[in-house]
Amino acid sequence: MQLRMAARKKFPDFSFSADLTLTGDRIGIFGASGSGKSTLVSMLAGLLEPDSGEIFLDGDCLYSREQGINLRPEKRRIAIVFQQHCLFPHLNVKNNLLYGFRRCPVKHRIIDFGTLVSVLKLEGLLDRGVNNLSGGEKQRVALGRAVLANPRLLLMDEPLSALDDTLRFQVIPYLKSVCEQFGIPYLFISHSLVEMRLMVDEVLVVSGGAVVEQTSTEKLARSRMGQSPVGYLNLLRLSHPARVDELFSYRFGAGELLISAGSDQEEALFELSSKDIILFKKHPEACSARNLICCSVVTTFESGSRVGVELASGEGRLVAEVVHQAARELGIVVGSELYAAIKASAFRRVG
């Protein structure tokens, strides 16, 4: 997907301007509420006409003030997964799913209904009214409905913000895998950095009605570590759990991690704050933390008053944070060996 957008829109109390060129199939738009993310989405989808500028998608002009072109929303083939799912309440699940499919030109109807229903695990819900679905089921139907229309671009406008944490992390794998399986490029819009990191690799940062930065999600997460009260969140997908007394042991790099929030599920996703990792220069004689891992420093980075330290233990990676003085005392340089102590209770299972 290649998107070229240079557009301006002025409201009585807010103005938005964007001048960007995007290439890639999975791109995020990150920003706080009121930063202009939804304005950008509406202009791309043709639901809001810019005051000036142009929008091109894969070389096709969607909007050009100069040329007097403003393609109607139904002609753009840009589908949206909304924050509040926006399923049609008078239609059942099946008819909601088929709404876009039936309006799609025959030559574009390439996504198999049965396969999609099976991927989204909606087989048993097809005859149900949409008001009788859970939040996660509704969002899966909304995703299926958008994907079946086989759009050239899918806009996911904060699709997870109306869901609680448990549902949020249940839906994320569907969002990602369905788009990848059916080859649909997407823009993922969110104010959650964790969602961004799980969904996309490249991100545009929107603030005060303008695109202020285009970077990788990893760089963005690291640069914000010093300002965030939770620091940098390590997202660890761990597998092969085994019970050890009251804890669960998971494979991690060359060793293992003991986690109190584990489960018997074969694979789980955990959050670990960079603030919850304590570094030692030498192996401590005794330690209350159940995890003491010998690591080597891969890289360091600065974020505000903090120093981020990327650590490697075999294939496993962790980011810890320390203040400058601690970094000096520990003699942290790339390649140096450190011991990371992590309490088993510091891990939060999110998926």
Subset of 79-118 contacting another protein (CB under 8 A): 79-80, 82, 84, 86, 88-90, 99-100, 103-104
Subset of 30-89 contacting another protein (CB under 8 A): 45-47, 72-74, 76-80, 82, 84, 86, 88-89
Q: How far is the CB of 14 from another protein (least distance, A)?
A: 19
Phi, psi of 133 (to 5 degrees): -105, 155
Neighbour tally for 105: CB within 10 Å = 8
Rounded to whole angstroms, the Cα distance separating 20 from 291 reads 45
Contact characters 171-190, another protein, x per CB under 8 A: --------------------
Q: How many residues does the chain have?
A: 351
Residue (145 or 275) nearer to another protein, CB:
145
Q: How far is the CB of 74 from another protein (least distance, A)?
A: 5
Rounded to whole angstroms, the Cα distance separating 290 from 247 reads 10
Query: Mind giving me the DSSP string for 138-149?
Result: HHHHHHHHHHHT
Contact, 143 vs 186, CB < 8 A?
no
Contact, 240 vs 251, CB < 8 A?
yes
Contact characters 112-151, another protein, x per CB under 8 A: -------------------x-------------xx--x--
* Helical (H) or strand (E) element with 40: helix 37-45
Rounded to whole angstroms, the Cα distance separating 213 from 203 reads 8
Structure tokens at 215: 């970077």
- Which amino acid, residue 50? P
Residue (11 or 334) nearer to another protein, CB:
11
Contact characters 300-329, another protein, x per CB under 8 A: ------------------------------
Residue (184 or 220) nearer to another protein, CB:
184
Q: Which positions lie near another protein, rule CB under 8 A?
A: 45-47, 72-74, 76-80, 82, 84, 86, 88-90, 99-100, 103-104, 131, 145-146, 149
